[in-house]
Amino acid sequence: MEKTNFTRLFDAFDRGAGAKYQLLRQAARARLQSLPMPSARTEDWRFTNIAPLLDIPFELPGATPSINPAALPPLPTPDTLRLVFVNGSYVKSLSSHGNLPSGVQVGALANPEITPMSLTQIASSQDQVFTTLNSSFLHDGAFVAIQAGKVVEHPIEIFYVTQPSSRPIVTNPRTLVLVGDHAQATIVERFFSAGEGVYFTNAVTEMVLAENAIVEHVKVQEEGPQAYHVANTQVIQAGHSNFTTHYLALGGSLVRNEVRVRFDGEHAEATVNGLYLAAGKQHIDNFTVIDHAKPNCASHELYKGILDDQSHGVFNGKILVRKDAQKTDAKQTNKVLLLSDNATINTKPQLEIFADDVKCTHGATVGQLDATQLFYLQSRGIPLGEARRVLTFAFANDIVGRLKIEALRDELEARIVK
């Protein structure tokens, strides 16, 4: 019964999606039947109640609505390559990727000329029910492929826009990024609401980094105040590759963001950062897994949360060091600032280590604004409210300040100041 609100949409979806990915959809639906939806007894979901989500009779989006380009945030740089999807469908008129460098392919998965063999091969459907649900609706999404040795100078922005309607709608954005040997790229994913209303974004992003590849990834989640957002970003890294991701959660009513990184070669490095801001009765759940499957790899993880009013935050981070992954260097930190006595955080940093020659640390800190620092600022003539804003901004900007795209960094800093 709990999946019926989604499975009843399969036939109508297939009539509109065509046969291109029908076999992949059928395989996912067969697997979906045997996967239970998360409940309070599901360990990795025990702090997040998705019962309200499962009770909503979602519908498929209708005809793609027109969006005023001026309503979208400006390009991070004038030469940014932008792919725009509205309610799950690619919109050429809003996109700008005509002058692609040689060796770089950017397009929509629904394009008949794009047939990626690795689609659904990176993000596992074995035990991840929402990933499997996304594959059950596979049709459109973003595809980025960068050939070996290519350095993409300008960011590639993938923009998923939802225009809510009078009825609750569900979209399943899919992104596949393939980066070749010694190639470099910056990928920006944005999830944006063009109005208010109830909707569900169920997103999956798959990334593969070949030998010596370098990827800077930024995800900005700006869903509407009544939106549900569940997402899985899954990354596989070959030897000597370097992956950095920055996640910024600014919207949504109930949000679950998952990041999974697996080292498939030695001497690879990953940096996984996140910042989540919640107020009102927002619920933001962060789930990460760093899988050290090979020796001589390093990972660095820092998640920060700012919770106000009656909001609820979750951090569940796992570092897995497999038996043969000697010389692993892994660090994980979760820091949370509570601005209200009614705000709640559940934090669970974890280490699972099966090798004996490793350097691994993890920890969590939860606190309020430092009274001594507040007093110091007030003694210098700064009003209490402004002093609180200064200290809160400084706490958050530790993450935002690491963004290399200056225009995006300035935009997000302004959002945090507000």
Element (DSSP H or E) covering residue 417: helix 406-417
DSSP state of 94: G
Length of the chain measured in residues:
418
Distance CA 213, CA 149 (A): 9
Distance CA 347, CA 19 (A): 44
Q: Note whether 229 and 257 are within 8 A (CB).
A: yes
pTM of the model: 0.95
| Cα distances (Å, whole numbers) of residue 165 to 67, 75, 100, 194, 396 | 13, 26, 35, 10, 33
Q: In this structure, are strands 104-108 and 174-179 parallel, antiparallel, or unpaired?
A: unpaired
- Cβ burial of 166 (10 Å; 0-12, 13-18, 19+) is exposed
Distance CA 135, CA 371 (A): 49
Domain spans, the chain: 4-265, 370-418
Distance CA 332, CA 343 (A): 23
Kindly give the confidence (pLDDT) of every residue in the chain, 418 residues in length, as a single tens digit, with 9 standing for 90 and above: 579 999 999 999 999 998 999 999 999 999 999 999 998 889 999 999 999 999 999 999 988 888 888 888 888 888 889 999 999 999 999 998 777 889 999 999 999 888 888 899 999 767 899 999 999 999 999 999 999 999 999 999 999 999 999 999 999 999 999 999 999 999 999 999 999 999 999 999 999 999 999 999 999 999 999 999 999 999 999 999 999 999 999 999 999 999 999 999 999 999 999 999 999 999 999 999 999 999 999 999 999 999 999 999 999 999 999 999 999 999 999 999 999 999 999 999 999 999 999 999 999 999 888 888 888 888 888 888 888 888 888 898 999 999 999 999 998 888 888 7
- Cβ burial of 165 (10 Å; 0-12, 13-18, 19+) is middle
